[in-house]
Amino acid sequence: MVAAIELLPETRRRDVAARVRDLRRSFGARAVIDGLDLDIDAGEFVALIGASGAGKSTLLRVLAGLDAEIEGDVTVAASRAVVFQAPRLLPWKRVWRNVVLGLPGRPDRRRAAAALAEVGLEERADAWPRTLSGGEAQRAALARALVREPRLLLLDEPFAALDALTRLHAQDLVASLWRDHAPAVLLVTHDVDEAIALADCVLLMRRGVIAEKVRIDLPRPRGAADGRFVALRAQLLGWLGVTRAAEGGR
Amino acid sequence: MDALESIRPTSARRWRTPPLLPRLLGVALVVAAWQTLSSTGVIDAQELASPGTAVATGLALVRSGVLPQAAWISLLRVLAGMAIGSLAGGGLGLLCGLSRAGEELLDAPLQMLRTLPFAGLVPLFIIWFGIGEMPKVALIAFAVAFPIYLNVYAGIRSAEAGLVEAARTLGITGSGLVRHVLLPSALPQALVGLRYSLGVAWLALVFAEQINASTGIGHLMTDARELLQTDVIVVCLCAYALLGLLSDLTVRALERSLLTWRPAYTGA
């Protein structure tokens, strides 16, 4: 689906969803983000990888507006939504009310139902969040993010807690939702295969900056058996310091 | 083969006896023993009436309307004290839970007041409020306020940071955050406070009604003491216990209806 990008008019293509210049974020004396620059175009799918503690989640939290103890210039789309590693649904509100929480006006059941239908969860609209399975809860969190029609969707390892099979389904779902709604996406992940399968562009974060960047122009859907996929995986794993390139991404 | 164990289905593991019967059996045994000791003269009727006498007196007091009237007045005192005390305690808990300034200003003095034994305040309350309904309701309110305060405060502070953060990304701030996130997450703990404070309320009532009550269960008991009517005293104690039990059941029902979203551990 390279076409998805090309279909966007040039003017919109040049719109930015996020623009970061010389960002710094320190915890005590330790600068987790140290002079970082980042551009995300409208509609672009960017994956961010890096070792644990490299500052990926910190960067995502800054873009989400959850962390403002920063220096530097950060411009982000005003309409943005976040999906965290944990679904973070309010357990005392039924699923559909969680989905439309925070939208202006009265809670709109039909709007919630439409969003839940998109993630294949319409029959759980009246369930309590704690009765959902891990994959269902994460799909509800996706619906909650998408119902806002964000221009920038921030995904903080949203599939990390899911089992392997559910994770593959969730990745396909994100790919199709991105195709239909065309938000810019920043996906923080540990999973190299996931990054290659989904993203237009993979960034590596190291020592507080974007240290490496590679564009991925393989046709979608991307199979892990593809020779170029294998080569990319070796390259990304190499960035992460894993030399046994033949082994899987996780 | 002894490293293996079979998992028995719960249906087989559960006791098959009707749950009410063994419990009632225990009570019946105690009452029977008491009755026997009274009938044989081991327990002097002047010191403690027999269960039979107590039941007869209780029925008579109910029929004459004396006991229901007294219980009603006592119940009203508890309700008034609970209302005032939980409003004050809940309000202060919200203030300290939601605002750091409120916490710094109010928490220390409240913690100091909390350590005062409320029963010891009776003389002071009589001087301040006289001997009418006021000191009784005030004593109950004072006793009730602290458990509510502590639990509402702790409940708000135990809100999950992750949920607060997620709500903020959905554009929920200020009063919306309080309404959608902080209050509901404080609710289970606040209900624990309510249950505890109801118990304290009945205790405070007993203390309050020992002083110059001309109505209520406490008054019945004071009169009975003057006349050495141990049967009436036993009836009054049972009335207190029943009212306490009733209020506990009410809060439990409240918990069940308010916390349906919470699939909690229900005990083995």
Q: What is the CATH number of the domain that holds A160?
A: 3.40.50.300
Q: Is the peptide bond before A219 cis (omega within 30 degrees of 0)?
A: no
- Partners of A67 on chain B (C-beta within 8 Å) are none
**What is the number of structural domains in chain A?**
1
pLDDT tens across B152-206, in order?
Answer: 999 999 999 999 999 999 999 899 999 999 999 999 999 999 999 999 999 999 8
Calpha distance B104→B96 (Å, rounded): 8
C-alpha–C-alpha distance, residues B62 and A71, integer Å: 77
Chain B interface disruption, residue of A60, A76, A101, A132, most B CBs within 10 A:
A101
Query: Is residue B258 over pLDDT 80?
Result: yes
Find the residue in B nearest to A82 (Cα). B169
- Decide if B174 is inside a domain: yes
Q: Compare all CA atoms of chain A with the CA of B176 and give the residue at the minimum distance.
A: A102
Which chain B residues are closer than 8 Å to A80 by Cβ? 169
Instruction: Please tell me the distance in Å from B235's CA to the nearest CA on chain A.
Output: 43
Q: What per-residue confidence (pLDDT) applies to B192?
A: 92
**Tens-binned pLDDT, residue by residue, of chain A (250 aa):** 333 333 334 444 458 899 999 999 999 989 999 999 999 999 999 999 998 888 999 999 999 999 989 999 999 998 999 999 999 999 999 999 999 998 998 999 999 999 999 999 999 999 999 999 999 999 999 999 999 999 999 999 998 888 888 888 889 999 999 999 999 999 999 999 999 999 999 999 998 999 999 999 888 888 888 889 999 999 999 998 887 645 544 4
- Whether B146 maps to a domain, the answer reads yes
In this predicted structure, what is the pLDDT of residue B74? 93
Look at residue B192 and tell me if it is in a domain: yes
Q: Which of B163, B164, B165, B170 to mutate to test the interface with A (most CBs of A within 10 A)?
A: B170
Asked if the model's pLDDT at residue B63 lies above 90, the reply is yes
What integer pLDDT is reported at residue A152 of this predicted model?
Answer: 93
Distance from CA of A89 to the nearest CA of B (A): 7
**Among chain B residues, CA nearest to A67:** B165
State the distance between the two ends of chain B, measured CA to CA, in whole angstroms: 28
Note whether A97 contacts B: Cβ–Cβ < 8 A.
Answer: no
Q: Which two tokens stand for residue B249?
A: 């059941």
Alpha-helical (H) ranges within chain B are 10-13, 20-39, 51-63, 66-98, 100-114, 122-129, 133-157, 161-169, 174-177, 183-209, 216-226, 230-258
* Chain A residue at shortest CA distance from B187: A92
Inter-chain CB proximity A82 and B162 less than 8 Å: no
What is the pTM assigned to this prediction?
0.80
Whether residue B31 is contained in a domain is answered as no
Q: How confident is the model at residue B21 (pLDDT cuts 50, 70, 90)?
A: confident
Contact A92 B184 (CB under 8 A): yes
Q: What is the pLDDT of residue A153?
A: 95
Chain segment B82-114, per-residue pLDDT in tens: 999 999 999 999 999 999 999 999 999 999 999
| B18 in a structural domain | no
pLDDT of residue B46: 84
Tell me whether strands A16-27 and A30-41 are parallel, antiparallel or unpaired.
antiparallel
Query: A92 to chain B: which residues are within 8 Å by CB?
Result: 184-185, 187, 261-262
B193 falls within a domain = yes
Please check whether residue A83 lies inside any domain of the structure: yes
Is the Cβ pair B170, A86 closer than 8 Å? no
Q: Which domain holds residue A20?
A: 3-219
Strand order, beta sheet including A30-41: A30-41, A16-27, A71-76
Decide which of B223 and A12 is more confident: B223
Q: Which domain holds residue B161?
A: 51-229
Query: Any CB–CB contact under 8 A between B168 and chain A?
Result: yes
Distance CA A22, CA A38 (A): 9
Query: Is the CB of residue B22 less than 8 Å away from at least one CB of chain A?
Result: no
Number of Cβ pairs < 8 A linking chain A and chain B: 52
Chain B contact for A64, CB < 8 A?
yes
B169·A86 Cβ contact <8 A: no
| pLDDT at A11 (0 to 100) | 42
Instruction: Supply the pLDDT for residue B264.
Output: 65
The pair of structure tokens assigned to A218 is 């393989």
The pLDDT, as a whole number, for residue A244 is 63
Using alpha carbons only, how large is chain B's radius of gyration in Å?
24
We report the CATH number of the domain holding residue B127 as 1.10.3720.10
Q: Does B263 touch chain A (CB under 8 A)?
A: yes
Q: Is B171 on the interface with A (CB under 8 A)?
A: yes
Whether B241 is covered by a domain: the verdict is no
Q: Quick check: is B78 in a domain? A: yes
Give chain A positions within 8 Å (CB) of B185.
92
d(CA B190, nearest CA chain A) in Å: 15
ipTM of model over 0.85: no
User: Any CB–CB contact under 8 A between A66 and chain B?
Assistant: yes
Backbone angles phi, psi at A214, to 5 degrees: -140, 135
Task: Mark yes or no for CB contact A91/B162 under 8 Å.
Answer: no
Assess if residue A158 is contained within a domain. yes
- Give the SS3 label for residue A38: strand
Say which of A81, A128, A129 has its CB closest to residue B169. Answer: A81
CB B41 within 8 A of CB B49: no
Q: Which residues of B touch A88 (CB under 8 A)?
A: 162-163, 165-166
In a domain, A27, yes or no: yes
Report the pLDDT value the prediction gives residue B17, as an integer from 0 to 100.
Answer: 60
Three-class SS state of B267:
coil
Tally the domains of chain B: 1
| Distance to chain B for A154, nearest Cα, Å | 10
pLDDT-derived band at B15 (thresholds 50, 70, 90) equals low
Nearest to A128 among B167, B185, B261 (CB): B261
pLDDT bucket at B13, cuts 50 / 70 / 90: low
> Any chain A CB within 8 A of the CB of B163?
yes
- Chain B contacts of A81, Cβ < 8 Å? 169-170
Does residue A228 lie in a domain region? Answer: no
pLDDT of residue A9: 43
Instruction: Judge whether A232 lies within some domain.
Output: no
Q: Which of B158, B257, B261, B265 to mutate to test the interface with A (most CBs of A within 10 A)?
A: B261
